[in-house]
Structure 1
Amino acid sequence: MNNTVAPYSYYASVAAAQAAAQSGDVVTDLSTVAENAKEFIVVFDYGDGTKKELTMPEGANASLPSLNDRGYNHFVGWTDQAGKHYDGGDTVTITANTTFTAQWSYIPPANPNYRITIGDMENGTVTANPTAAKAGATVTLTPVPDEDYALSTLTVTDRFGDAVRVTEQADGTYTFPMPNGQVTVNATFVETEEPVAEPFIDVAEGDWFYDAVVYAYQNELMDGVGGNRFAPNSETTRAQLVTILYRLEGEPAVSGDLPFTDVEAGIWYTDAILWAAQNNIVNGVSDTEFAPGDDLTRQQLVTILYRYAEAKGYDVSASADLSGYPDAGQVQDYAQPAMAWAVAENIIQGMEDGTLKPAGNASRAQIATILMRFCEDVAQ
């Protein structure tokens, strides 16, 4: 008999041959072969571009090999040219030329870490923490402009080239939820011609929010987001507003247990949320969760301010008739007194289209404006 790949090894018994066999070896029982039996070509296709061709006599019993898994590719058996399935270890009697093809099943890990690639950039750097993450994990990006440069754009794209939502944080970092696959981070940095007094390069003297931003910055209520930028049109999170009020209060010392399972100890907003909860200024979105990273809505904003005013002993008796706003019915019950008070005090005004937009997100420029009105007109 001829073997085009390697010579045969002969053993006294099938059991001895099987004991010596390696992964992929074919064990053939020749004890049932008739003298001068016809020979057939038997091909084993391993599914990775390699094949083993053997010459076997008619009537030989071939034991189909079991193959080792290849990473996340798991061996599940063989099929012949007629499509019949065999498991590894099955015995087949050879009666014709036959090809057996290995079958594999790809089973990925339950929740793998995906790579975060930082693209090429000039005049600054961006670091990611962590550098690889599982789907759903929060990734923090920290941009560091070179001297005399400021961050202009920061984008994250997934493996399909689609944008991933990035949220600016009060400490100048950016966060995004890791999608189900690798991502690429790109940033551009622009040269700052000269320092500005405010000191934000994205706040111009003619902007409607200019005075409010200057007020919030000079009174140490709000900082920039890094790179001499205020990001006036970016959204504000629930944790950021509570931190602003905590600063307004002078950052008093706090102690005690955190009431929310999603607020960790030692985070930049931890003491602020504990202080606000202990003074009945904030409630959670549930009995156990505060959702610090959720975007703040306009009705949540006025409700937190209303409760802060109550805690300070300010007069909150003013109440406006909201029926003139076409979306007044969209103000949730918990926010109705606060919204009526805020409108009466001119803390909050309708949008350009005459609506209250209670469920709309509050931008940083709106927060600065509302804080200035609150401090100048209510906090007396």
Structure 2
Amino acid sequence: MVEKDAKKLSVGISTATSGTLTAEIRTLLGDNPVYELTLNVDNTPVQWSGQPVTVKLPYVLEAGDQPNQVVVYNLDKGSNLVKHAFYDQSSGTITFKPEHSSKYAATYTNVGFTDIGTLPSKTSDAIRAIAARGIIIGKAPGEYDPQGKLTRAEFVQMLVNFFDAVDASAVSQFSDVKKATWYYTAVASAEKLGIVQGRSDTKFGTNDKLTRQEMVVLLHRALLATGYSIDSSEQNVPAFSGQAAISSYAQNAVAALKQANILATDSSGSFGPKSQTSRADAAVLIYNFLLVDTKH
């Protein structure tokens, strides 16, 4: 892509016209500008694809708005949410890592859940962030149901959505993963990538409640399957209280995510590996990864 004797490599960010966008997309973006990203070699635009580059777009947060509800859309083919983007209120910019030339725009997404206001701010922030990115939806209009328990199928749907890992051609071998169900493509895609394993050779356990250690293992597998490296933030991380309760198959995944500051504990240092996973737990785990990922 780049000639051997090239001297200057740069990413160009320019304001683009929104005239070619559909009325629906213009309504979605409001008055927010559209930016076109190009890769320039010696000031000449070249084709760019497959190589992530860190980009920061300006966005002015209005009074009362939540910073974790600022999102980025890729406008190459319609409007596609960029899941891995994070708004820094101190600099007034949202950071993401596009892998190709295209048009992008930052905008604000309203999240109107009425049942998360009494949660710790870290938890409600996480829920708003992943909902704004379309990773999960409420259980009913205006309700997130933070203490509701997740099934294995529901969490796999979240992971496949978050990592943009949908493979429409994937076929599931599990007898309890039925075609034409809302979860079929997600589970089949995750199965093809090696993210999920069954309860047995023939059963996935679609509607089984997810334990916290299963949640961590699935996220860890998803990270590895989609090409993410997990950087350790500390050399020595204290063990969880009740460490012996973590099943052997989950030990490595739990240790890796804890070392990377993705997996948190409660005030007593407990992880609760075999406790059922709540919808709030899943939101916090994915949001913690988003925070870690956007800092690298």
TM-score normalized by structure 2? 0.58
Residue 234 of structure 1 contacts residue 364 of structure 1 at CA under 8 Å; is this kept in 2?
A: yes
Q: SS state of the match for residue 304, structure 1?
A: helix
Q: 1:361 aligns with which of 271, 276, 280?
A: 276
AA in 2 matched with 1:234: G
The corresponding residue for 2:112 is: 199
Matched residues in 2 for 1:364 and 1:262: separation? 23
Q: 1:312 aligns with which of 226, 234, 249?
A: 226
Q: CA-to-partner distance for each residue in 1:310-369, whole Å, 9 max, x for gaps?
A: 112222363876763231111111111100011111211222332111111111111111
Cα deviation per residue 1:264-297 (whole Å; 9 max; x = unaligned)?
Answer: 1010000000000100111111111111111111
Shift of 1:197: 4.5
- Given that residues 163 and 226 in structure 2 are in contact (C-alpha distance below 8 angstroms), is that contact kept between their aligned partners in structure 1? no
Query: Using the alignment, how far apart are the partners of 1:256 and 1:212 within structure 2?
Result: 30
Indicate how the Cα distance of structure 1 residues 300 and 244 shifts in structure 2: closer, same or farther if over 3 A, else same: same
1:324-335 paired onto structure 2 within 5 Å = 324-335=239-250
1:1-380 matches, cutoff 5 A: 197-204=110-117, 207-208=120-121, 209-250=123-164, 252-316=166-230, 318=232, 324-378=239-293
The 1-side partners of 2:242 and 2:190 are apart by: 29
Alignment size in residue pairs? 185
Q: Which has the larger radius of gyration?
A: 1
Is 246-255 or 225-234 further displaced after alignment?
A: 246-255
Residue 233 to residue 293, structure 1, CA distance change in 2 (3 Å): same
Between the two structures, name the one with larger relative contact order (CA 8 Å, sep ≥ 6).
Answer: 2
Over 3 Å counting, the alpha-carbon distance change for 1:378 and 1:201 in structure 2 is same
Residue 250 of structure 1 deviates from its aligned partner by: 2.8
Shift in alpha-carbon separation, 1:267–1:288, aligned structure 2, 3 A: same
Cα-to-partner distance string for 1:212-242 (whole Å, 9 max, x where unaligned)? 1110111111100013100011111111111
Note the C-alpha offset of 1:247.
Answer: 1.2
Structure 2 spans left out of the alignment, 5+ residues: 1-108
C-alpha distance in 2 between matches for 1:217 and 1:326? 31
Q: Quote the offset at 1:205 in angstroms.
A: 6.8
Does structure 1 conserve the Cα–Cα contact (< 8 Å) formed by 2:242 and 2:270?
yes
CA distance in 2, matches of 1:207, 1:298: 19
Task: Tell me: CA distance 1:204–1:265, structure 2 relative to 1, closer, same or farther (3 Å).
Answer: same
For structure 1, which runs of at least 5 residues remain unmatched after alignment? 1-195
Matching residue's letter, 2:189: W
Q: Which residue type is aligned with residue 277 of structure 1?
A: E
Percent of residue pairs bearing the same amino acid type: 28
**CA–CA distance in structure 1, aligned partners of residues 205 and 242 of structure 2:** 26
Query: Structure 1: which amino acid aligns with 2:267?
Result: E
TM score, norm. by length of structure 1: 0.46
Q: Which has the higher helix share?
A: 2
